[in-house]
């Protein structure tokens, strides 16, 4: 898709438009500060059946990404032809590439792990890329207190429709801009959800491949009970380290994804604040990071799953 | 945790999102695309196999054809040779026949010629005898004994013939016989 | 020194110190990968993938520092 020159022209035009917007409305540091928020902002809070559902902007963007994926795949695979063309060709190339990737990492177990890894890849790829469309980030709802003025660089178009219910934390200083569209990966909830699915499914596949023996990876008292105190204690210690490393995997997955994408957004924002054309090289870098993070999340998932279900041989050797 | 933006409802919602997209992708993408890739792989393998088969068939046919062609060529050669032999025999036979015929014709022609010639010679002799007898009668004036004079002339003629042309044994024999 | 000043120093130190190790590490990984590619150019495809995975593992440490820096800077704790 990126080989298509038309797509490139659209991307470049969008970058130029973003730059023009920044020329005419230079940012102030207050505007930058208002745009940066660690937590995703609440956009809607519909009351349904007595419950209040808080819907964040990252949630909306996740849905948009999901919708794009579903539409793409629905129209791409609706009328499958033996000789592919257009969209079907692109999607088939993507899937084929992912199958090849899974096979190169996981070998004969590839098709078992393929679905989760490639779902993570496709979801992250689409959501990271749509979040990089220029102009998506800075448009949103800003909550101004009584008598407060919007910081320089933020243009107030009008009153927000009443369906938007942004939160204003009591301790917060200054206004907060809640963008309509925010990169889903800058939501720790999504990152954590993906990490949880990845790590939990890794354990599930480990159990499936090795049965109860998989538990000896974490709780190996075999040598300790045989009376070999020194090595037994080492085994117990290694098991504890493995257990901690599984938990650290969740943390690492979460913060790697979140940190990269969130830092990318902040870098773009600060570069835009510092100088007009400075975001361009970083924009390219962020495109790269968006793809690499999706790729890395998928590959690491595959690799961990492969290690967890292939430890059978190593375990047999160990005992 | 709350300041990080992590809270249980949002986390659950995102988990549901991910599981939903997993199911949707499985239904919309992986199943049809993998089935299609598999189908295409099979199809390509099939058509390759078919192409190999066709190639092998063609090669076999080519070989068969060549074999048949050679066989026919050989047969043709054999037939050609035999017919050539036959033709040669026929030719020889015809030539021999013709030769024989020609000889026969020649022979018969010669026989006829001889006969005619003998006839003519006999006639001539008769005339010569008569003329000479007539001449002699005139000269002598006497009537010679026919029988005797004839004998005389004939003897003379025989002598002439012997002296002049000895290649006519038939004539002499005949003459001698007469 | 005000609280805000301390917070800024802590933010800068958090990301600054966290970037040292991974910086060296990524340099080592890339250098080793380039050497390996130079010795065996046919394997550069797999080497690139593996290099990226290695870089990402190393980079994660810097990212942790960055996240901590954000947390300090945005007064999350």
* Domain extents in chain C: 3-73
| Residue bearing tokens 């933006």 | B5
Cβ-Cβ contacts under 8 Å for A37 (sequence gap 6 or more): A176, A178, C74
Any domain includes B26: yes
Higher pLDDT, C20 or B147: C20
Name the strand (E) or helix (H) holding A56.
strand A55-56
Asked if residue B14 belongs to a domain, the reply is yes
8 Å CB contact between B12 and A46: no
**A288 Cα to chain C: minimum distance (Å):** 12
In a domain, B5, yes or no: no
Is there a contact between B4 and C77 if contact means CB atoms under 8 Å apart?
A: no
Contact call for B4 and C71, based on CB within 8 A: yes
B24 vs chain A: nearest CA distance in angstroms?
7
Quote the tokens at residue A130: 């749509």
Per-residue pLDDT band for C59 (boundaries 50, 70, 90) equals confident
Residue A310 has pLDDT above 50, yes or no: yes
Say if the Cβ atoms of B4 and A194 lie within 8 Å.
no
- pTM for the whole structure: 0.72
Per-residue confidence (pLDDT) for residue A11, from 0 to 100: 65
Average pLDDT over every residue of C4-12: 91
Percent of chain B past pLDDT 70, that is, above it, reads 86
Highest mean pLDDT among A79-83, A151-155, A162-166, A264-268: A264-268
Other chains touching B, judged by 3 or more CB pairs under 8 Å: A, C
Classify residue B168: in a domain, yes or no: no
Q: Strands A47-48 and A42-44: what pairing?
A: unpaired
Q: Is B4 on the interface with C (CB under 8 A)?
A: yes
CATH topology of domain C3-73: F1FO ATP Synthase (1.20.20)
A9 compared with A195, residue with greater pLDDT:
A195
Q: What is the span of the domain harbouring residue B43?
A: 10-160
Given the structure tokens 């934390």, which residue do they identify? A169
Q: How many domains does chain B have?
A: 1
In percent, the amount of chain A with pLDDT more than 90 equals 18
Largest distance between two CA atoms of chain C? 58
C-alpha–C-alpha distance, residues B63 and B20, integer Å: 62
**What is the per-residue pLDDT for B23?**
92
Cα separation, C69 vs C9, whole angstroms: 10
Give the model's pLDDT for residue B71.
Answer: 93
Q: What does the pLDDT look like over B19-76, one tens digit per residue? A: 999 999 988 888 888 888 888 889 899 999 999 999 999 999 999 999 999 999 999 9
DSSP-derived letter for residue B26 is I
Closest by CA position to A20, among listed A282, A278, A276 = A276
Q: What is the mean pLDDT of chain A?
A: 80
Q: Please determine, for residue C20, whether its predicted confidence score (pLDDT) is greater than 90.
A: yes
Altogether, the residues listed in chain B come to a count of: 178
Condensed to tens digits (0 to 9), the pLDDT of residues A176-224 reads: 778 888 888 888 899 999 999 999 999 999 888 888 888 888 887 877 7
Exposure of A186 in the CB half-sphere (CA atoms within 13 A): 30
The residue among A23 and B43 whose pLDDT is bigger is B43
Give residue-wise pLDDT tens across range B148-173. 777 877 887 788 766 555 454 444 44
Report DSSP state, residue A275. -
Give A18's pLDDT tier (boundaries 50, 70, 90).
Answer: low
- Asked if residue B173 is part of any domain, the answer here is no
Substitution target from B12, B33, B37 for chain A, most A beta carbons within 10 A? B33
Residue from C8, C56, C64 whose CB has the most chain A CBs within 10 Å, to mutate: C56
b/e burial code for range A157-186 (CB count within 10 A of at least 16 → b): eeebeeebbbbeeeeeeebbbbbbbbbbbb
CB distance A136 to A130 below 8 Å:
yes
- Cβ-based burial of A57 (10 A; exposed 0-12, middle 13-18, buried ≥19): buried
**pLDDT > 90: what percent of chain B?**
37
Integer Cα distance of B65 and B71 in angstroms: 10
**Of A14-28, A98-112, B54-68, C49-63, minimum mean pLDDT range:** A14-28
C71 at B interface, C-beta within 8 A: yes
Cβ neighbours of residue A59 closer than 8 Å, sequence gap 6 or more: A40, A187, B10, B13, B14, B17
pLDDT in tens, A240-260: 998 998 998 899 899 999 988
Q: What is the rounded distance in angstroms from the CA atom of residue B44 to the CA atom of residue B75?
A: 45
SS3 A208: helix
Q: Is residue B165 part of a domain?
A: no
Burial class, A140, CB count within 10 angstroms (exposed 0-12 / middle 13-18 / buried 19+): buried
């Amino acid at each position: 898709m990126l080989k298509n020159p038309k797509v490139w022209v659209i991307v470049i035009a969008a970058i130029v438009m973003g730059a023009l917007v920044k020329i005419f409305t230079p940012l102030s540091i207050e505007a930058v500060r208002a745009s940066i928020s660690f937590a995703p902002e609440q956009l809607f809070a519909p009351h349904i059946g007595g419950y209040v559902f808080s819907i964040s902007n990252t949630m909306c963007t996740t849905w948009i990404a999901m919708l794009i994926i579903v539409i793409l795949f629905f129209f791409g695979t609706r009328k499958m032809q033996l000789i592919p063309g257009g969209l079907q060709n692109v999607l088939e190339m993507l899937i084929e590439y992912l199958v090849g990737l899974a096979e190169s990492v996981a070998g004969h177990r590839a098709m078992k792990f393929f679905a989760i890894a490639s779902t993570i890849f496709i979801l992250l790829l689409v959501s990271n890329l749509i979040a990089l469309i220029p102009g998506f980030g800075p448009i949103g709802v800003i909550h101004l207190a009584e008598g407060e003025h919007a910081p320089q660089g933020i243009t107030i178009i009008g009153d927000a429709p009443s369906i938007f219910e942004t939160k204003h934390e009591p301790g917060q200083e200054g206004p907060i801009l809640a963008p309509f569209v925010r990169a889903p990966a800058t939501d720790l909830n999504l990152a954590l959800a993906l990490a949880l699915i990845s790590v939990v499914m890794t354990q599930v596949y480990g159990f499936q491949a090795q049965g109860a023996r998989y538990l000896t990876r974490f709780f190996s008292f075999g040598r300790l009970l045989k009376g070999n105190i020194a090595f037994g204690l080492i085994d117990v210690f290694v098991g504890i380290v493995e257990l901690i490393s599984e938990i650290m995997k969740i943390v690492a997955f979460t913060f790697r994804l979140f940190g990269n994408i969130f830092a990318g957004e902040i870098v773009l924002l600060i570069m835009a604040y510092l100088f007009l054309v400075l975001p361009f090289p970083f924009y390219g870098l962020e495109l790269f990071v968006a793809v690499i993070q999706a790729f890395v999340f998928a590959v690491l998932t595959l690799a961990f799953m492969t290690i967890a279900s292939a430890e059978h041989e190593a375990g047999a050797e160990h005992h | 945790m709350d300041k990080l933006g992590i809270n249980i409802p949002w986390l659950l919602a995102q988990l549901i999102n991910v599981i939903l997209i997993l199911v949707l992708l499985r239904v919309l993408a992986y199943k049809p695309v993998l089935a299609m890739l598999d189908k295409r792989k099979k199809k390509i393998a099939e058509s390759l196999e078919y192409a190999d088969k066709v190639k092998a068939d063609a090669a076999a046919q080519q070989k068969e054809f060549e074999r048949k062609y050679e066989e026919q060529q050989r047969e043709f050669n054999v037939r050609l040779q035999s017919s050539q032999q036959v033709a040669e025999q026929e030719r020889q036979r015809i030539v021999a026949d013709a030769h024989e015929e020609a000889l026969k014709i020649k022979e018969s022609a010669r026989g006829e010629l001889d006969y005619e010639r003998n006839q003519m010679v006999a006639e001539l002799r008769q005339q010569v005898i008569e003329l000479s007898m007539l001449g002699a009668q005139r000269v002598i004036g006497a009537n010679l004994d026919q029988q005797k004079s004839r004998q005389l002339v004939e003897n003379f003629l025989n002598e002439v013939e012997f002296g002049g042309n000895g290649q006519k044994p038939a004539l002499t024999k005949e003459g001698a016989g007469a | 020194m005000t609280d805000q000043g301390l917070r800024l120093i802590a933010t800068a130190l958090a990301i600054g110190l966290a970037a040292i190790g991974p910086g060296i590490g990524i340099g080592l990984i890339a250098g080793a990968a380039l050497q390996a590619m130079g010795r065996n150019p046919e394997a550069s495809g797999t080497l690139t993938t593996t290099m990226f995975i290695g870089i990402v593992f190393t980079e994660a440490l810097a990212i942790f520092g960055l996240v901590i820096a954000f947390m300090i800077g945005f007064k999350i704790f």
